[in-house]
Amino acid sequence: MPFDTPINATDASFQRVVMQASTPVMAVFWSPEQTAREELDAVLEEAAEAYAGDALVVKLDVRDAPEARALYNVNRLPQFLFFRGGRLVARAKGMPSMRALRPWIEYLLERGPKPTTGRPRSEEGPAEGGQPVTVTDATFDQVVLAADLPALVDFWASWCGPCRAVAPIIEELAQAYGGRVVVAKLDVDANQATARRYRVMSIPTLIFFRNGQEVDRVTGVRSKHVLEQKLEALI
């Protein structure tokens, strides 16, 4: 009977469910702390139903699969590993839409070419430049931590005078560094989980990321020249 829903697996079942599967497998590593679970579940359920009988969709909470995570060097989450005949043939990172994920599954099933991008991007990902992208608790990991580019995130609030003062500079940087740096804004009032996660105690706080890790931060209003220097060092 074809599986038309995602299968939950652990280190104990990884060999049987993934490596010894008779059909191709899309194994998805995730964690409740770093993944928008409801959004991911919706995409995976749609994929499992659409490809029932052709491919398996397997979910691995990294807390239950630390050995498999280490074996395949899974860092950024969520991460998609595509197996054919027990062999890893592709991997992709980030939170996708079903439309973005479909070409990867078609490649897994040898029905299409390998996608050229490094991860199945969401259609709501950052623009190439012009305006800062707005991020939330649900999209922060996807847009910032899983980005192929370095990132600058402006933690701000609408009532904050200094935040309004620095906003035009952030917009200028987004335009100047489009395609080289992800420039994002996060409203700390509406997204308190991420603000707490990065211990943002006063605003504006500007945090610089590379490869999903914080590498620098400044608090308060800084000149465009100072921020440009930090971005040049980041690149």
Helix 98-108 / helix 37-50 crossing angle, nearest 10 deg: 50
Using CA atoms, how far residue 95 sits from 57, 99, 185, 222, in Å, is: 15, 12, 19, 33
Residues 6+ apart with CB under 8 A from 92: 79, 80, 82, 104, 115, 117, 118, 119, 120
Q: Which of 36, 207, 187 is nearest to 122 (CA)?
A: 36
CA 208 to chain centre: 16
Beta strands 205-210 and 151-156: pairing type? antiparallel
The residues assigned a catalytic role are 160, 163
Helix 224-234 / helix 161-176 crossing angle, nearest 10 deg: 50
Separation CA 109–CA 83 (nearest Å):
10
